[in-house]
Amino acid sequence: MTCAGFFRPGGHSFGVWVVLVAMILFGLLRYENFGGAYNISSFLNYNAMFIVISVGMCFVILTGGIDLSVGSVAAFTSVVAAYLSPYGIQVALPGAVMAGLAIGGLNAVFVVLMRIPPFIATLATMLGAKGGALVISGAQTISIDWELNFTKLGMEKAFNLLPWTIVITAVVVVGLWIVLERTSLGRTVLAIGGGEDASTMMGLNVNRAKIFVYVLSGGCGGMAGVFLASGFGAGQPLEGVGWELSAIASVVVGGTLLTGGMGSVGATVAGALLLGLVFNILNFENGRGVISLSAYWQMVIRGGFLFVVILLQSHLARRSKGATQ
């Protein structure tokens, strides 16, 4: 029941850093504007949504659970943020995040208090959140006035350096890394994944930790919804489909065990960046005119790439285990 440090290349997380660095070097060498400020800023700004929900998912999976609702939560909270946007970002941002926290709290009630398996519980809230987004929006995008300060979150840069979404995501990631690495709550989360019954016998507050991770995941979904609405200038009730799978893939690629007990916030971020980088590189390749791949074929390639990375992760983990024996 250990957790690799943020940039500490060890165990199951080593492979994702190797592949990520290799992909970045490949892009820098092959494409002229790959390392340009515009591409880097656009790439990070768009993928901030997926990074946020992935780190939330990481905590849930570390306990041996799962959260299938995060994509629908993001869609629902983007609509909430759009409706609240006339009152300014100071209302829309916390309001949408609180809506996500509330759905995460509902997941916690189902899983922790009612003892419903996480897969079933979060599947129910996934459907409920998606249906709620469609009902309150009338299955239509909810436009946001571009003159409102809410859109500045997704469109403008903090101190003329980085988009606000990247700054907020960095704060969230660092904060959650500290929680996992440096607090008793983080150690409890890891212990639960290693063995929930044993953790209870050790006197750890298992229920508190499990409630925390599901509420956290809902809040991260809410923040992703805020990014979605502010970045696209509208609440998007039809978005979020498959986002939960992307988040799970990022966590797994980052070396976190699906059974829980071992994982890393930093490697999860690397996993999310790696999956986003695949699309980025394919778009550059399409731009060269050598090949022309539709979005559907890009998804097929992304799935195959994910499989290759997981195989690499397994190989490196076996080598690491053999070297220590």
CA distance 298 to 209: 38
DSSP of 31-60: -TTTTSHHHHHHHHHHHHHHHHHHHHHHHH
For residue 127, what pLDDT is reported?
Answer: 96
Can you name the CATH fold of 11-316?
ABC transporter involved in vitamin B12 uptake, BtuC (1.10.3470)
pLDDT in tens, 147-205: 788 888 877 777 777 889 999 999 999 999 999 999 999 999 999 998 988 998 898 99
For residue 302, what pLDDT is reported?
Answer: 67
Residues of the chain below pLDDT 70: 1-13, 289-291, 293-295, 298, 302, 309-310, 312-325
Q: Which residues of 288-317 are buried (b: 16+ CB within 10 A; e: fewer)?
A: eeeeeeeeeebeeebeebbeebbebbeebb
Query: Which are the contacts of 247, defined by CB distance < 8 A and separation ≥ 6?
Result: 50, 53, 54, 56, 57, 70, 71, 272
Ranges of each domain in the chain: 11-316
Task: Please return the burial class of 37, using the count of CB atoms within 10 Å of its CB with bins 0-12, 13-18 and 19+.
Answer: exposed
CA distance 275 to 203: 39
Cβ–Cβ contacts within 10 Å for residue 180, how many?
Answer: 23
The alpha carbon torsion through 166, 172, 173, 178 (nearest 10 deg) reads 150
For residue 12, what pLDDT is reported?
Answer: 58
Beta strands in the chain (DSSP E): 142-143, 157-158, 162-163, 234-235
For residue 152, what pLDDT is reported?
Answer: 83
Residue 143's beta-bridge partner residues? 234
From residue 89, how far is each of 84, 86, 165 by CA, in Å? 8, 8, 13
Q: Which residues of 121-131 are buried (b: 16+ CB within 10 A; e: fewer)?
A: bbbbbbebbbe
pLDDT in tens, 308-325: 766 766 665 566 555 555
DSSP of 122-156: HHHHHHHHHHHHHHHHTTS-EE--TTSGGGHHHHS
CA distance 232 to 225: 11
Q: Which residues of 221-242 are buried (b: 16+ CB within 10 A; e: fewer)?
A: bbbbbbbbbbbbbbbbbebbee
CA distance 264 to 262: 7
Q: Which two tokens stand for residue 251?
A: 């966590």
φ, ψ of residue 224 to 5 degrees: the values are -60, -35
For residue 312, what pLDDT is reported?
Answer: 67
For residue 10, what pLDDT is reported?
Answer: 43
